[in-house]
Amino acid sequence: MTEVFLRDGESCDSMLKRFSTLMARSGILRELKDRRFFRTKAEKAKLAAARAARRRKRAR
């Protein structure tokens, strides 16, 4: 679970920005979006292969 505490002299806006950054890095929102609808094993495998291909392409 992602927790963010207000630092000394920090504004609420910067704390919210820090929170949203941590949420994006942790992958919680991506997992929520993935679980929103039921996907078969074949669909999950196809998406995983597409993600891996994009990752390989970016690595080049």
- Our count of domains for the chain comes to 1
Domain hosting residue 20, numbered range: 12-59
Give the span between the Cα atoms of 16 and 49, in whole angstroms. 34
**This model's pTM is above 0.75:** no
In a domain, 29, yes or no: yes
pLDDT digits (tens, 9 = 90+) for 18-59: 999 999 999 888 889 889 999 999 999 999 999 999 999 999
Take residue 60 and report the two structure tokens written for it.
């080049």
In a domain, 6, yes or no: no
